[in-house]
Structure 1
Amino acid sequence: MPPELRHLRHFVAVAEELNFTRAAGKLFLAQQALSSSIKQLENELGEPLFVRDTRRVALTPAGEILLPRARRLLTMADETVAAVRAGTPDRAVLRVDISSSNLETGALVLRRLREDRPEIEIRQREIGVPGGLVALRDGELDVLLGDAAAAPDDVAVEPLRQETVQVMLAADHPCAGRSTVSVAALADEVWLLPPDEVAPEWNQLVLRHCQQAGFRPRRYPGTTWGPAAAAELAAERRCVVPTNAWLTVPDGVVFRPLVDPEIRFPWSVMWAGEAGEPVEALLAAAQAMVHERGWSLPAAQPEDGDRSTQ
């Protein structure tokens, strides 16, 4: 018998949080009920999905295989329910990945799109550039925002913004009082970076500039999900967090531009095939934000050749 959708939804929540207590809170479930649901799913599949001990929760190989497929199934289920409830199968829908909803660039573009075109139904995902490029080509995603260096030739690219990368520090960090922070000043710190499989383009950018400053950063050994968890680690002085600008600054942390060398992140809009009306609307919203905010544009991607070498 195939797993129930609710069991898959519970599994994804635990996989994203890697913490049963936080996942239970996110789902508004008792922790015991969540543990029981995961156990039922593991029994149905005949494989353990998590390694659990007193210190950590981690995915097993079977869990790693299930996670992307469970996400796709849940997305399809949600889209099916939304279409039935809307009763308008021809309603304009835009499936978009803006990297992270707390980052300023994508959030401002979507805000402008909602203001200009409220009739478009926006379905936002956060799967990262590697997974997003696959989803574009498989027809599961309409638009992807991020670094387009790895985009294949059959993915269209529109440069959006060249953004100075910042570092999130505890408000009482010795560098917090500076207007800018040199990369070398953080050589002895622990750096929080996303998993390589989720954001390799980001990690390569940061590591390359650290090496230019004469060191290889020590990476924080764990992972986080969402801005609140990253801000909490930074506020506790457990790590520093290279990041792009956020819409709001959490309590206990500050953001400072990284310099010497300055790190610039090239945002682009990516889509596959002919741009439909919802994609064109997002491109118009993006251009409006470029002009209103005075964003500097990254160099356009070459039409020929391997973008990954640029």
Structure 2
Amino acid sequence: MPAAPTDPRLLRAFLTVAEELHFTRAAARLHVAQQALSRDVRRLERDLGADLFVRTTRQVTLTPDGERLLPHARRVLAAHDDLLAAFGQARPLLVDLNSPGPTTGRRVLHRARELAPGHELMARYESGLTGAATEILAGRLDASFGRYAGLDPTLRAGLDHHPVRYEQMAILLPEAHPLSSRESIALPSLSGETVYAGAGNPRTPEWTALAEDLFSAHSIHLAPPLPLAVGDEEFERIMAKTGHPVLAVQNFPTLPGTVLRPLISPIPLSPLSLVWRKHLSHPALTALRRAATELGETEGWLRRPPGSWIPSADEEAMSGGPTLPLRGPTPR
């Protein structure tokens, strides 16, 4: 073991390579040259007197000593980040909002910025919690919003969540659709319809699975996979071409030639959580959680309307997530 404390920069280099198991990707993530990253890892190995990786031309794997170091490195770096945060030197927190527009996540983010003006919260748009979750676990994002219970258990194992809101689901209808003149759409009236809910999109399977649960009880057909549309213009074009209604939530922005109508009978809810990497400690994350709690309390975001529908797995997740008191010290 080294006689002097190990440089946190070297530990961060080790941890990034351990998470990526690829030096090129790790160097890109750290915004350093691959040669410099390799040099830092070798220096750490010399300091510790142990080989941490097995490197071949085909792959990079951890040695037993590397596996042993991994949890210690995570704890040391978390403590180091806490120390910097205590003196106003925390790095920016990267927060995925899924999509632009007047979303719940955007409101939470804006309130968190007011609560923690001394810290930087940077918005990202990964479009879908499953897609964002892989980025969070890889350290390229810090937090996101979405349906936590719909994530694969292997993803949930590395994540924590804070229940934020039950969003009422809605349907985006072409203006020419026979139901478009109604103020709300009863689910039984969609029986036999084909509705788009992101089938085939690798970033959003948690949303598609929620739709399948809902549709199966009302004889609604899930639209088949479509080419992945990137950007609002492409999404509008594809939706206009197919003519399918689109499952959405009430604050979803309408597209040209469409109307957005709330779903009823029963009222289907989309459960929304703030999701982050386990053991992440950051004052801006505390601000996000406090903002979600504050807005939820004042606007009744976690009160379920009578006659609402939600899968049992989501009901359990939304009632059992971590809580944060509304009152307490405001992050610096």
- For Structure 1 versus Structure 2, the TM-score category normalised by the shorter chain is 0.5 to 0.7
Q: 2:319 aligns with which of 293, 300, 307?
A: 300
Matches within 5 A, 1:1-310: 90-102=89-101, 104-127=103-126, 128-149=128-149, 150=151, 152-194=156-198, 195-219=200-224, 221-234=226-239, 238-246=243-251, 248-271=253-276, 272-296=278-302, 299-301=318-320
**Which letter does structure 2 place at the counterpart of 1:140?**
R
Q: Could you say if the C-alpha distance between residues 236 and 274 of structure 1 is closer, same or farther in structure 2, counting changes exceeding 3 Å? A: closer
5+ long unaligned stretches in structure 2? 1-23, 33-87, 304-314, 323-332
Q: Report the Cα distance in structure 2 between the residues aligned to 1:71 and 1:175, rounded to whole angstroms.
A: 50
* Bigger Cα displacement from structure 2, 271-280 vs 98-107: 98-107
Q: Could you say if the C-alpha distance between residues 193 and 247 of structure 1 is closer, same or farther in structure 2, counting changes exceeding 3 Å? A: closer
Q: Could you give the per-residue CA deviations for residues 83-102 of structure 1, whole angstroms, max 9, x where no partner exists?
A: xxxxxx93541111122223
Secondary structure of 2:221's aligned partner: coil
Q: Report the Cα distance in structure 2 between the residues aligned to 1:96 and 1:72, rounded to whole angstroms.
A: 20
Q: CA deviation at 1:171?
A: 2.9
Q: Report the Cα distance in structure 1 between the residues aligned to 2:289 and 2:245, rounded to whole angstroms.
A: 33
* Bigger Cα displacement from structure 2, 217-226 vs 253-262: 217-226
Q: CA deviation at 1:190?
A: 3.8
Q: Report the Cα distance in structure 2 between the residues aligned to 1:253 and 1:240, rounded to whole angstroms.
A: 9
Secondary structure of 1:131's aligned partner: helix
Q: Report the Cα distance in structure 1 between the residues aligned to 2:280 and 2:226, rounded to whole angstroms.
A: 42
Q: TM-score, normalised by structure 1?
A: 0.61
Cα contact 2:193–2:220 (8 A) shared by 1? no
Secondary structure of 1:263's aligned partner: strand
Q: Report the Cα distance in structure 2 between the residues aligned to 1:126 and 1:152, rounded to whole angstroms.
A: 20
Q: Could you give the per-residue CA deviations for residues 241-264 of structure 1, whole angstroms, max 9, x where no partner exists?
A: 111233654443221112334321
> What is the RMSD computed on CA atoms of the aligned residues?
3.3
**Which letter does structure 1 place at the counterpart of 2:319?**
A
Q: Report the Cα distance in structure 2 between the residues aligned to 1:120 and 1:302, rounded to whole angstroms.
A: 25
Secondary structure of 1:120's aligned partner: coil
Q: Report the Cα distance in structure 2 between the residues aligned to 1:143 and 1:300, rounded to whole angstroms.
A: 20
Q: Could you give the per-residue CA deviations for residues 53-95 of structure 1, whole angstroms, max 9, x where no partner exists?
A: xxxxxxxxxxxxxxxxx999877659xxxxxxxxxx9354111
Q: Report the Cα distance in structure 2 between the residues aligned to 1:247 and 1:206, rounded to whole angstroms.
A: 16
**Which letter does structure 2 place at the counterpart of 1:282?**
L
Secondary structure of 1:219's aligned partner: coil
Moved over 6 A (4+): 70-75
Q: Could you say if the C-alpha distance between residues 301 and 231 of structure 1 is closer, same or farther in structure 2, counting changes exceeding 3 Å? A: farther
Q: CA deviation at 1:155?
A: 1.9
* Bigger Cα displacement from structure 2, 111-120 vs 191-200: 111-120
* Bigger Cα displacement from structure 2, 162-171 vs 144-153: 144-153
Cα contact 2:166–2:302 (8 A) shared by 1? yes
Q: CA deviation at 1:289?
A: 2.0
Larger Cα-atom Rg: 2
Q: CA deviation at 1:163?
A: 1.1
Secondary structure of 1:300's aligned partner: helix
Secondary structure of 2:216's aligned partner: helix
Q: CA deviation at 1:216?
A: 2.8
Aligned pairs, number: 225
Q: Report the Cα distance in structure 1 between the residues aligned to 2:272 and 2:221, rounded to whole angstroms.
A: 25
Cα contact 2:147–2:272 (8 A) shared by 1? yes
Secondary structure of 2:167's aligned partner: strand
Secondary structure of 2:286's aligned partner: helix
Q: Report the Cα distance in structure 2 between the residues aligned to 1:72 and 1:252, rounded to whole angstroms.
A: 45
**Which letter does structure 2 place at the counterpart of 1:267?**
L
Q: Could you say if the C-alpha distance between residues 232 and 221 of structure 1 is closer, same or farther in structure 2, counting changes exceeding 3 Å? A: closer
Identical amino acids, percent of aligned pairs: 24
* Bigger Cα displacement from structure 2, 213-222 vs 278-287: 213-222
